[in-house]
Structure 1
Amino acid sequence: MKIAIVTETFLPSTDGIVTRLCATIQWLQKSGHEVLIIAPDLGINEFEGAKVKGVPARTFFFYPDRKFSLPTHKVKKYLQEFRPDIVHVVNPALVGASGVYYSRRLGLPLVASYHTNIAQYSSYYRLPFLLPLLWKYFRILHNQADVNLCTSESVKDELTSRGFRNLHVWKRGVAVQQFGSQNYDQTMREYLTNGQPEKTLLLYVGRLAAEKGIERIRDVLEGSSNLCLALVGDGPHKETLRCYFRDTNCIFTGFFHGEKLAKAYASADIFVFPSITETLGLVILEAMASGLPVVAARTGPSSEQIVDGTTGLLYLPDDPNSLKETILKLNEKTIRWKIGRNAYNVARSFGWDESAEQLLEFYKLAYNTHSHRNRYLLGLD
């Protein structure tokens, strides 16, 4: 099968979408399929044998740390040259809107996947008046697809209630061979604890953005002198967070990748993920696969990954004391070890192969749905 993937983000950017895409593309290429990636031009021309066609990219005031591509006719040119069997538009918003438009114009089967609560982010960037317009815009884009994918049952329920059609849940996955307690590294722990390895190390991995709610963790640090925090990641909120966490036991590391990231997970004690805006949060599964107990907000997507009290702990985001109280429940090493071991055992069953195989079935469904619709319109069925 020839598959064109149009995405708003790709390497060298790092986030859950890119992680999922890279694992999926690797599997598709190894399975004999041909993949073309159309993405913002960030200097990457090839990935795992798949060609990357770049689209001019630029930064915007609302997110200066990342480049985005606007809608462009170049997407049409690339699709016409490649002649795919299926087009998959990932998180359609800007350049992805071109993917949707030209797929329809060229009569190509279309899959669209929803990964980010962009509409929900509007309140964090002081643009709440845009919320109804954003939901309408994304609904129009997605409802042109033959198949729509999302990453959790709770998000599927919300999108259904907002009029999105043809929805399916795309399974989560994790690089089970990459993560694990065997990656513990004393030097990494020394670094992440700022030379205080005897303290309990809290770890956050992800974008440093306003919608992630990272500020909530400061109260936890101030409530116990035995805690320290490492924020692994980068983003537009970094300098604000540096000021906010000044004079606390907190360090900023920037992004980690590969072996370095695996060592960071394995060398920490507790993974803390305070965000309430996630459609899934793949870093939760990475932390679980590393044997870490996870403390996350009690939201629909997080509750689908964590069994409270067994594979992690869920705090109540509306209670200002809940995060601190929940983390302090993990003071005892034996409790942390037990929950971390349970999390590890669960996470090992979520390899990326199953997720990629499922996606291929969705591609076939979209192809068949599109073909059937065309035959119906032509009066052949």
Structure 2
Amino acid sequence: MDSARLHLQTLAPARRQLRIAIVTETYPPEVNGVAMTTGRIVDGLLQQGHEVQLVRPRQNPEDQPSPAEGFDEMLSIGIPIPKYNHLKMGLPARMALTRAWSVRRPDVIQVVTEGPLGWSAVAVARKLRIPVITEFHTNFHSYTRYYGVGWLKQPLSAWLRRFHNKGDLCLVPTAALRSELQAGGYRHVEVVARGVDTTLFSPARRSAALRERWGALPETLVCAIVSRLAPEKNFELGVRAFEAIRRIRPDARLLLVGDGPARAELQARHPEHVFAGMRSGEDLAAHYASADCFLFPSSTETFGNVITEALASGLPVLAFKHAAAAELLRNGHNGLLVPYADETAFIAAASRFAEEIQQLEAMQQRARESVLHMDWHSIVQRLVNVQEQVIEQHAQRNSGGLALGARAD
């Protein structure tokens, strides 16, 4: 047995409590899938006894670090993202990160987002020979066609590939995305799925009073869409699918939960629908549970946290066979699946929610059962296992001194 492996075995008990630096440009209370997922991961790591340093942009002038046992925050300078002024892009922080990680060295650095702050974190990790994991959350290159800059797709794809290939490992939420990225030249890709809080999201939160506010009677079919209201989310397809439902069930209601740059235009064109705005926590959970089915018209997601939240709330989901839907939905069992990007099939399938009432009720019963295994504790433990493997492999490649995991405190 070589000395590096022997040293790692000697250190193995200490690996139960890792020191993890997480670098992200979005974090709660910001409302989006990446922020929510990162917040859950941080909470889970702390609950399992690991130390976490969170590096993120300052969200507002009054924003201050919130230290706690085993947790500290390093706030960087951030600038608003065009069209998403409530979100910040972190500026590069190479000098500050180098100082911080030279004094208090993490066992592993996890970079959540691919912005300037994330790029600088990867560069510092490589310079200090600290293992670094990146995360692929957003198909930015797929968004280009929605914003009139299709010519950017190829250079943006190359930019993302270069960024993620600089890390020891790139994490993705589905096996299908792993295969797609590997085919596109990504070298080291592993799957860690996302979880869902089945205590928060539950059919038990259904509210007759809330439905009454939407103009829905007990027998009214309410179709929900929960998402950021932005062009890449393909809301017009969701509206067209609902129109097919309403031709069969004229009293049906469409509920849209969320906010974003497309809300004003959508609401002006479709004032007949219920625009609930941004919701969170138990209020959001009640909005899910008080609907009857869920429409997911997006074709640009890497996962789609709202799918698991809808299923946990007892809502059958209509979606393209893509991302989380392809792995979690069984057609006719807990939702409806149609071929990827086939909008005609999507609209036709939506009408089944209105026509096949008994099947809809059966799918509602099975929806929640299909995600009960996706608790966050299991997801976080899977992540820790991957982190430990990356630390060990990195140490084997860089045997000696700090690269073996000794800390410079």
Q: Which among 217, 222, 227 is matched to residue 238 of structure 2?
A: 217
Q: Which among 50, 56, 63 is matched to residue 39 of structure 1?
A: 56
TM-score when normalising by structure 2: 0.86
Please list the CA deviations of residues 72-95 of structure 1 after superposition, one character each: whole Å capped at 9, or x if unmatched. Answer: 233334433442111000132321
Question: How far off its partner does 1:369 sit?
Answer: 1.4
Asked if the contact 2:111/2:122 (under 8 Å) is kept, the reply is yes
Q: How many residues align?
A: 376
Unaligned stretches of 5+ residues in structure 1? none
Question: How far off its partner does 1:321 sit?
Answer: 3.4
Taking every aligned residue pair, what percent have the same amino acid on both sides?
31
1:5 — aligned with what? 22
Question: How far off its partner does 1:64 sit?
Answer: 3.4
Moved more, 299-308 or 311-320: 311-320
Question: How far off its partner does 1:286 sit?
Answer: 0.8
2:334 — aligned with what? 311
Following superposition of structure 1 onto structure 2, how do residues 329-344 of structure 1 map, counting pairs within 5 Å? 329-331=352-354, 332-344=356-368
Q: Which amino acid in 1 is paired with 2:30?
A: S
2:205 — aligned with what? 183
Q: Which amino acid in 1 is paired with 2:66?
A: E
Q: Which among 91, 95, 106 is matched to residue 117 of structure 2?
A: 95
Q: Which among 367, 372, 388 is matched to residue 348 of structure 1?
A: 372
1:321 — aligned with what? 344
Is residue 42 of structure 2 the alignment partner of residue 17 of structure 1? no
Unaligned stretches of 5+ residues in structure 2? 1-17, 405-409
Structure 1 residues 196 and 215: CA distance shift in structure 2, 3 A: farther
Question: How far off its partner does 1:351 sit?
Answer: 0.5
Q: Which amino acid in 2 is paired with 1:347?
A: V
Structure 1 residues 301 and 181: CA distance shift in structure 2, 3 A: closer
Q: Which among 221, 230, 233 is matched to residue 258 of structure 2?
A: 233
Asked if the contact 2:223/2:242 (under 8 Å) is kept, the reply is no
Structure 1 residues 3 and 319: CA distance shift in structure 2, 3 A: closer
Asked if the contact 2:307/2:324 (under 8 Å) is kept, the reply is no
Following superposition of structure 1 onto structure 2, how do residues 190-269 of structure 1 map, counting pairs within 5 Å? 190-191=212-213, 193-194=214-215, 198-223=219-244, 224=246, 225-246=250-271, 248=272, 250-269=273-292
- Any idea what SS the aligned residue of 1:279 has? coil
Asked if the contact 1:147/1:365 (under 8 Å) is kept, the reply is no
Moved more, 318-327 or 229-238: 318-327
Question: How far off its partner does 1:319 sit?
Answer: 4.1
Asked if the contact 2:114/2:163 (under 8 Å) is kept, the reply is yes
Question: How far off its partner does 1:63 sit?
Answer: 3.2
Asked if the contact 1:91/1:114 (under 8 Å) is kept, the reply is yes
Distance, in Å, in 1 between the alignment partners of 2:25 and 2:294 is 28
1:359 — aligned with what? 383
Q: Which among 182, 188, 193 is matched to residue 166 of structure 1?
A: 188
TM-score when normalising by structure 1: 0.92
Considering only CA atoms, is the larger Rg found in Structure 1 or Structure 2?
A: 2
Distance, in Å, in 2 between the alignment partners of 1:197 and 1:79 is 58
- Any idea what SS the aligned residue of 2:366 has? helix
Please list the CA deviations of residues 128-187 of structure 1 after superposition, one character each: whole Å capped at 9, or x if unmatched. Answer: 111111111111111111121101111111110111111111122111211111111122
